Amino acid sequence: MKIHHLRNATMVIETGDKVLLIDPMLGKKGTAGPTFTLFRFKPQRNPIVDLPNNAMDIVEKTTHCLLTHLHPDHLDKEAENFLRSRQTPIICSIKDKKQLIKRGLNVTQTVDYWLSTPFLDGAILGIPAVHGYGFVAKPMGNVMGFYIKLPNEKSIYLSADTIYTDDVHRVLTELKPDVAVVACGTAQLDIFQPLLMRMDDILKFLKNAPNQVIANHLEAVNHCPTTRKQLEVEVSKIGHSDKVFIPNDGESKVF
């Protein structure tokens, strides 16, 4: 299994002849939407960085697309156009199916929470995700993480945009994924509590993950203050540097 980190939460998983695109934000710098904050962090149109030069060469190989939720930093207009023009098979939460079909996208499979269904000769399980601490989680809408086990490959947990919850803990400690992906940008709007894990919960995730961890959702949208360097320092303090992969945009790793 080869995993490419492209930008933000956009990843590509290559396994055999299948190429799985995850949460694509494919637009050029500043084209995916307005700033997410005006006061707390510097207002900038998103994304705040361009895709790496090698990104579209990888994306062009896509055979399937997996969506955790429909926020514009996980599915932008450029990505919608790409998926619609190719009628790429899309796998998503059962709660997102109607909206995606309305947009002309080719939803071929839906996933429900804590229900395992066949997927690419293996299986996929929907994991609840809570997009923020306290009140803000409700208006942020439904999000789904995924636990995927494919034949002759490492199992992978895509936790999606979430805080640390009992469901997250259950996946890490009971399902014991070989690879776990966690959103580490600590996104926050001008008001309310953070939308993603605070640093203490990120470190808790890293400690409880039984194997390798990939950190993403960093340095790509203006409401995510945590930097790769800050994360690297904190991970080093708890002695888990060898366990955590903090990729630069365009970087890949074979698992």
Q: Are strands 252-254 and 179-183 parallel, antiparallel or unpaired?
A: unpaired
Neighbours of 242 (CB within 10 A): 8
Predicted pLDDT of residue 165: 98
Predicted TM-score (pTM) of the model is: 0.95
pLDDT digits (tens, 9 = 90+) for 118-145: 999 999 999 999 999 998 999 999 999 9
Span of 27-31, 154-158, 243-247 with lowest mean pLDDT: 27-31
Predicted pLDDT of residue 17: 95
- For the chain, helix, strand, coil in percent to 5 are 25, 25, 50
Written as six digits, the tokens of 166 are: 């009992």
Beta bridge partners of 126: 113, 146
Distance from CA of residue 57 to its chain's centroid? 20
> Taking a C-beta distance cutoff of 8 angstroms, is the pair 211, 245 a contact?
no
Query: Which sign, positive or negative, has the C-alpha torsion 106, 112, 59, 82?
Result: positive
Predicted pLDDT of residue 35: 66
Q: What does pLDDT average to over the chain?
A: 95
Neighbours of 74 (CB within 10 A): 22
Q: What is the mean pLDDT of residues 218-239?
A: 95
pLDDT digits (tens, 9 = 90+) for 55-105: 999 999 999 999 999 999 999 999 999 999 999 999 999 999 999 999 999
> Taking a C-beta distance cutoff of 8 angstroms, is the pair 214, 2 a contact?
no
Q: What's the rounded Cα separation, in Å, for the pair 120 and 99?
A: 24
Query: Helices 199-208 and 228-237, interaxial angle, to 10°?
Result: 60
pLDDT digits (tens, 9 = 90+) for 179-213: 999 999 998 877 779 999 999 999 999 999 999 99
Separation in Å, CA 100 to CA 79, 122, 130: 12, 24, 21
Amino acid at 104: G
Helix (H/G/I), strand (E/B), else coil: 217: coil
Q: Examine the pLDDT at 40 and tell me if it is beyond 70.
A: no
Q: What's the rounded Cα separation, in Å, for the pair 112 and 3?
A: 25
Written as six digits, the tokens of 243 are: 């366990």
